Amino acid sequence: MFICLCNKINDKMLQKVIKDFSCKSLEDVQRYLPVATCCGKCRQTIIEVLHEKDDSSLSDSVL
């Protein structure tokens, strides 16, 4: 699934960057991928993915 149509960034690319570089914010992701730089429609989706990742890592650390 495409996350950023303007720059052809898909969900697998986003997940890899978040994992490989321990991204915690949109700004962290933007260091490695050209997202939310054109129309900005992907901005909220990326923020949601980051929050989901934080939530899942919290539940993993509790278990």
CA distance 11 to 58: 21
CA distance 14 to 20: 10
**Is the CA virtual torsion 48, 51, 55, 56 positive or negative?**
positive
| 20-53 per-position pLDDT tens digit | 999 999 999 999 999 999 999 999 999 999 999 8
Q: What is the amino acid identity at position 34?
A: P
| 44-56 per-position pLDDT tens digit | 999 999 999 887 7
pLDDT of residue 25: 98
pLDDT of residue 59: 60
The domains found in the chain, sorted by start residue, are 2-62 (1.10.10.1100)
CA distance 6 to 35: 8
pTM score, whole prediction: 0.85
